[in-house]
C-alpha cells in the first residue's frame, strides 16, 4: 500500500513538517510492503494561484497544466492521501487550499457540466487529515470550530468528489505542549494508516 503525505508549511523546521515525517516513519514501520511519498508543497514550489488556465480546465475547455497533472498522477498512485497542515484562521493554509483548488479539478476529481449531473470520481481515495492547532480543545468546542471545519473540509471538499475522510485529527496546544506527544501520535497514525476503521470524527491526537 502507498501513502501520499502532503505537508503545507513554509518552515521546514516546523512542527507540521515533523508531524509529516513521523507519519511517514509510522507507515514504514507498519509493513514491508507499505510505502510513502512526502509532497512538500512549499519546497517544491507548487503555485496555488487559480488562474484563467484553471478556469478553462474547470469548464472542460483545456487539459490540466503539467504541474496539476503531475499532482493528480501522484494521487492516482496512492491508496491513502494524508494532509498535514497548520490551522490558519480556523481552516487550512492558502497553499494547501490552492493545491486542492487546482488539482481536484472538474474532469478528474468529478464530472459536472451545465447539462449534466454531478459524477463523483474519487470513490477509491481514502483521506486522512492531520491538523496542527494552536488553540486548546475547549476553544474548538466552545466556538463550534469542530463542526465548521468538518463541514468545510470533510464534506465540502472530499465528499463532493466521492473521497472518504477516514480519520480527521486535531493536534491541540501545539505552541505550548511538549511536541513529543504529538510526534508519537503522528507515528501511530502512520502505523495504523492502512488499518483504520471508518471513523471520521474530529479527535484529539495529543
Residue 170 contacts by C-beta under 8 Å, 6 or more apart in sequence? 87, 131, 133, 137, 140, 146, 202, 203, 204, 205
Tell me how far apart the 2 most distant CA atoms of the chain are, in Å: 54
Query: What pTM, to 2 d.p., does this model score?
Result: 0.91
- Residue 203, sorted as left (phi over 0), alpha (psi -120 to 50) or beta, turns out to be beta
What's the pLDDT tens digit per position in 7-17? 999 999 999 99
Q: Which tens digits make up the pLDDT trace of 63-75?
A: 999 999 999 999 9
Is the distance from CB of 22 to CB of 3 less than 8 angstroms? no
pLDDT of amino acid 79 = 96
Domains recognised in the chain with CATH numbers: 2-204 (3.40.50.360)
Residue 199 has pLDDT above 80, yes or no: no
Amino acid at each position: 500500500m502507498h501513502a501520499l503525505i502532503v505537508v503545507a508549511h513554509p518552515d521546514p523546521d516546523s512542527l507540521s513538517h515533523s508531524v509529516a515525517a513521523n507519519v511517514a516513519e509510522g507507515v514504514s514501520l507498519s509493513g514491508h510492503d507499505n510505502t510513502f511519498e512526502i509532497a512538500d508543497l512549499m519546497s517544491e514550489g507548487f503555485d496555488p494561484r487559480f488562474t484563467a488556465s484553471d478556469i478553462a480546465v474547470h469548464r472542460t475547455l483545456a487539459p490540466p497544466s503539467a504541474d496539476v497533472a503531475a499532482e493528480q498522477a501522484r494521487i492516482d498512485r496512492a491508496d491513502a492521501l494524508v494532509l498535514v497542515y497548520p490551522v490558519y484562521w480556523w481552516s487550512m493554509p492558502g497553499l494547501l487550499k490552492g493545491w486542492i483548488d487546482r488539482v481536484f479539478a472538474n474532469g478528474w476529481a468529478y464530472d459536472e457540466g451545465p447539462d449534466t449531473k454531478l459524477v463523483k470520481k474519487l470513490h477509491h481515495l481514502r483521506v486522512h487529515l492531520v491538523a496542527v492547532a494552536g488553540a486548546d480543545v475547549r476553544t474548538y468546542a466552545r466556538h463550534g470550530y469542530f463542526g465548521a471545519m468538518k463541514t468545510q473540509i470533510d464534506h465540502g471538499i472530499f465528499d463532493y468528489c466521492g473521497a472518504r475522510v477516514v480519520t480527521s485529527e486535531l493536534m491541540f496546544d501545539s505552541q505550548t505542549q511538549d511536541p513529543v506527544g504529538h510526534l508519537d501520535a503522528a507515528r501511530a497514525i502512520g502505523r495504523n494508516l492502512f488499518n483504520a476503521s471508518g471513523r471520521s470524527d474530529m479527535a484529539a491526537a495529543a
